[in-house]
Amino acid sequence: MIRQPSEDETISMSWRPGIPVSFFSLLAGVVTWEVAGRWAGIRFLPPLSRVLLAGIDLIASGQIITHLAASLLSLLTGYGLAVVLGLLLGGVMARFQMIEYILNPYLNAFLATPKIVLLPVMYTFFGLSRLVQVAVIFLSAFFVIVLNTMRGIQTVDPAYIEMARAFGASPHQLFRKVLLPGALPLTMAGLRLAMGYAVKGMVTGEMFITVFGIGALLRIYGGRFDAEKVFAILLVVIGVGLVCSYIIQTVERRLTHWMNPRI
């Protein structure tokens, strides 16, 4: 027997705003920024058109490309390490309750600690090297991934676990075929959230420690009170965050498409 969609489901399927609404919302924001910049007369709110021209100038001079390449290398290294080690530790903590009890206080403590206060400690260990920046990015993302991975595995429906055991699944099969797929939504949400923290950690670390990178470039033009170039660099940072989040969302859709089949 085929189930007929309810009234709420019919409304949900018939109303899908999608790209047009998002486009017009973005367009409205762009127009508002341009008008406010031209008519408000505020020195530190330049019109968007002048910000874009400043961005083109930075790109043409090679400053954006050079500094962005250094930042992306640190981001890729730090975030990649955070994903591998975070997924591993999160899975171990979810499977072994004693380890969770031992490490949970440290996990919560580091989650609540602003990573910027750890910069002097990292500077002591690594000096003025890119390893400081990698460490800031790693710490910004690692604990979020651990927590979401652990919670995702722990919230898998016990009925699925019991069913797998009833059919003779080994602990390895149970973990690989039941727990990991069931934890994907929370785990992928943790990866998206951690990417945002990683990008912020990248900029923060470069502003305080390094002489290369997009954050260092932001510090230079911020010190000169060059609002147009500061906003142009901020747009680049926002673009990096959006692109990285889109990549993770694309991977998530491919991995979890079976959980939300289209009607």
Residue 1, pLDDT > 60, answer no
> Does residue 44 fall inside a structural domain?
no
User: Between 227-256 and 63-95, two packed helices, what is the crossing angle to 10 degrees?
Assistant: 40
Tell me the C-alpha distance between 100 and 115, whole Å: 23
CA-to-CA dists, residue 92 to 1, 111, 138, 162, angstroms = 43, 18, 19, 20
pLDDT band per the 50, 70, 90 thresholds, residue 12:
very low
Q: What is the pTM of this model?
A: 0.79
- What is the reported pLDDT for 89? 92
Look up the domain containing 157 and give its range: 74-255
Alpha carbon distance 205, 198 (integer Å): 10
Report pLDDT for 112: 82
Q: Identify the band that residue 78 occupies on the pLDDT scale cut at 50, 70 and 90.
A: very high
d(CA 191, CA 197): 10
pLDDT band at residue 13 using 50, 70 and 90 as cut-offs = very low
What's the confidence (pLDDT) of residue 160?
76
Q: Count structural domains, the chain.
A: 1
Q: Tokens 């990991």 sit at which residue? A: 180
**CB 240, CB 195: distance < 8 Å:** no
* CA 190 distance to own-chain centroid: 8
Contact assessment for residue 222 and residue 173, using Cβ atoms and an 8 Å cutoff: no
| 106: CATH | 1.10.3720.10
CA torsion 28-34-35-40 (nearest 10°) is 130
Confidence tier at 258 by pLDDT (50, 70, 90): low
Does residue 127 belong to any structural domain of this protein? yes
Q: Is residue 52 part of a domain?
A: no
Q: What is the rounded CA–CA span in Å between residue 83 and residue 134?
A: 13
Helix (H) or strand (E) holding 108: helix 97-112
What does the block give as tokens for 16? 């899908």
pLDDT(44) > 90: no
* DSSP reduced 3-state for 225: coil
pLDDT of residue 210: 66
Rounded Cα distance, 254 and 243, in Å: 17
User: What average pLDDT does this structure show over 244-262?
Assistant: 76
Q: What is the mean pLDDT of residues 108-125?
A: 79
Q: Which residue has the higher pLDDT, 114 or 192?
A: 192
**Amino acid, res. 77:** T
**Does a structural domain hold residue 18?**
no
Share of the chain above pLDDT 70, in %: 87
